[in-house]
Structure 1
Amino acid sequence: MFKIFRRRRDDELAPIDAEITAFGEALARHTLVPERHAADADLLADYARALDAYEQAKRAFVGDRDREDAADVMQALDEGRHALACVDARMAGRPVPPRRPLCFFDPRHGASADRVSWTPEGGAARIVDVCAADAVRLADGMPPIMTSRHPSPSQRPPARPSAPRAPQRPHRGPGPFKTCPLGVRKTQQAQGTGDREIQLPHREPRAPLVLVVRLHSGPRNTVELMEAGKARVLLKSKQRSRVVEPLPVSGDRHVHVRIESRGAWTAWLQPLDTVPTVHDHIASRGSFVFHYSGGPAIVHMSHADRGGYSLTALTPDFERGPQVLSGKDESYADGHLPGPAFLHVEAQGTWKIRIYPNPA
C-alpha cells in the first residue's frame, strides 16, 4: 500500500519537477551577461528576480507530497517566468509585459485570463482573476474547476448537502525579508548594481529598525554599516546573499551603508511590526530577526553548513542582549528563553529553530 501511494505521489509531482528543470535550463541558456548591462538596474533586478524565483521553487519543492502541496512552487515558477519575460523585453527595447496573476481558484490552472464577479457560499460578491476555463464555467452558472483533494459543497452529491466546506490552504506570499514590505517609504529603499554608498533616512530617529540588504548575484559580496565614522562589517562572503541587521535606537537621522558587489542589490529599512512572530518553529538561511511572544521555553537550533551561528536576545532598544545559544559548523545547540523577546540569528548557512514551552 505504501508503494502505491508513493508511486501516485511521484506521478503527481513528476510534471512539476520537470517544470522546475525546464525553467532552470531556460536560465542557463539565456544570453544575458550581467557585466555588460551594469548600468541597467531594472534589467538586472528582473534577472535577479528570475534567479531568486528558481531557487525558491527548488526549496519549496523539497518535501512536497502531492500537487496541492506544490502550489507555492507553481507560484514561484510563474514569478520567475514573468521576470525572465521582462528581461527579454528590456533587452529588445520593448515595454515589459503586464503581470497576470494566477487563477484565484487554483494557481495550477495557470495565468488568469479574465476578471469576473464571484460570490462564495454564504459570502459577499467579489471580483477575482480566473483562468479561461473557470471564466466560462462561472458564466454558465457552474462552479469553478476544483483540482484540490477537497471538493466544494456545490460539487458534492445532493445526498450530502449539509457537509461543511473543506478549508482551503492559505495563500503563501513571499517569505520574511524577501521583498520590501508595503508601507515603507521610497526614500527608505534603494537598489542598484556594483559598489555604492547609500544613506537611508529614519522615519522616526528614536525608533529601532531592521536593515535588510539582498545581493542578487556576483562572486563577491560585502556590506558595511558606517557608525561614527567607522565601518562595521555585516557581510563579507561569496555564499551569503542577505543581511538582516537590527538597528538600535539612535539619534542619527540616516543609516549609512557601504555595499560592494558586482551584481544587483536591493536594500531597505523595515519597521518592527513587519518582523515575523514565531510560536514554535522557523527555518531560513543566513542572518534573521524574529519575535517570540510566548512564555519560558527551550529553544533548539540546528545548523547545516560550515561557519559559526548564534541566537541573541535584543533589548527593548534593540541593543544586543544575552546570547541564548551558539555553535559552529554542522551541529546543534540548545538554549533557554525566559519569555517574549526579539531575537537575532547570525549564521553562515541554513538553519532550523524549534521552540518548546517550558513552564518550569
Structure 2
Amino acid sequence: MKVILSYGLGVDSTAILVRWLTELVCRTFDLKNLIVVIAQTGDEHLETGHLVEKFVFPLLRKHGIRTIQVARASNSQRDGIVILDDTTEPTICYIQGAYRLSDEMVEVATVPQTGGIRKCSLKAKGWPLDVLIAQLTGGEEFVHVVGFETDELTRMMRDMPLGLPGRNPTYPLMDWGWDRLACERFLWEHFKIIWPKSACSFCPFALASAAGLARALPRYVANPYEAFKALTMEYLAVAANPRQGLIGGRQLYDALLDFEGGPDLLAEFQEHLNCMPWAIYDVSRAFRAKADDMMKAANAARSMTRIATGDRADMVRLLDYMATHHLPPGARYEIGRHQRVWIHERNIYYPCPEQAFVTAPALAIDKVNDSFAEAWEAALKGPSQLALV
C-alpha cells in the first residue's frame, strides 16, 4: 500500500520525515512505498526553501524517496495542476510555484481572511494535493500521513473523516506523543538550527498572535523582498477597503512602524511603490440588508475598475484635481496614507451604496460582480438615513 506524506515544509512534517529516514525502528513500512508530496503556494519564505534543500532533500536523495512538488495552474480549478518536479533525487525546492496565491490576492485587491475555515490553504494546498493523490492512487487504498502534533487534537478530529476514497489517515506525532516543542528539539539535535514555521510570507494566521507577530517582524526586516510582497498586497487591499489589513483588520504597516528597523524598511517600501505603475480606481459596493434587520449588512456586490493610469505622482495630482474641481455635493476628500474621494459612504441603514475614487498600484484587474448592477440600483434606492444633529 502506498504511504503518502503531505510535506508542508514546516517543523511538524519535517520532524516526521527526518525521524523516519534516520531512525528505522520508528516506522512500520518499507521506504519504497513512501511518496512525499509538496504543494507549493508560490509564496513560502525563502529561508524555508533553503533549509529544505540543505537538510531534507539530501536525506530523500540518499534513500531514493519519490518526491513530487505540485502547484495550481491558475486561479481556476478547470486548469488543473502543474507538476513542478517528480523525482527520487530532489535538489530544488520550487517555492516559486506556478500560479501564486499572492497573484490571486493582488488581482482582486484583498488579503486572505482569518475568519472560518482556511480557504486560502484549502485552495492553494489542499485541492492540488487531492488532485495529485487521486492520480497517484487511482482509487486504491492508501495511507495518508498528516503532521498534526499533540496540541492539534481538534484539527486531527476534523481531518479524520475527510479526504479521498480509500484514504487511511495516520498521525505519527500523535502516536509518538510529540508536541511542537518536541519536534523543534528533535530537529535541533540533528541540524543545530531552529526550524522556522512554514507559511506564506504574508500569512494572516502567522500574524494573528503576539508570538506569531514576534517571529514575523524580524523576518520582514531581514528580508525586504518578502516584506514588500506582503505590504504591497495589504496596501492595495486597504486602498480598496479601509477595513482590510493583514493582522485581523489591523495593518502590518502599523506594526512595522513601531518595530526596530521597521521605519527604514517602510521608507524603502515607499520607494518600491514609487517605481510601480499606478491607477485611479473606482471602487463601488452595493450592500444588501440582512433579512428582517435593516441595520445589519448582508453580503455586498463590488465593482472595481480603473479610470486612469500613470505614475504615482500623476495619479495623486489627478485625484487632487478631481477632488478640488469636481466633487459632487456630499462627497469627501480623504488625504493620508491613501488618497480617496468618497462619493458615497456606508450608511446606518441597509441596503446602501459605498463608492470611492482611490489611488493605488495598478496591479488589480477590473472586476465587476455579476449581481452588481441590480444590487447597486437597489442600494441607491435604499432607506433614508437619520439626520444626526
Measured against the shorter chain, the TM-score band is under 0.3
Q: Which has the higher strand share?
A: 1
Q: Which has the higher helix share?
A: 2
TM-score (ref. length: structure 2): 0.23
TM-score (ref. length: structure 1): 0.25
Q: Using CA pairs below 8 Å that are at least 6 residues apart, which structure has the higher relative contact order?
A: 2
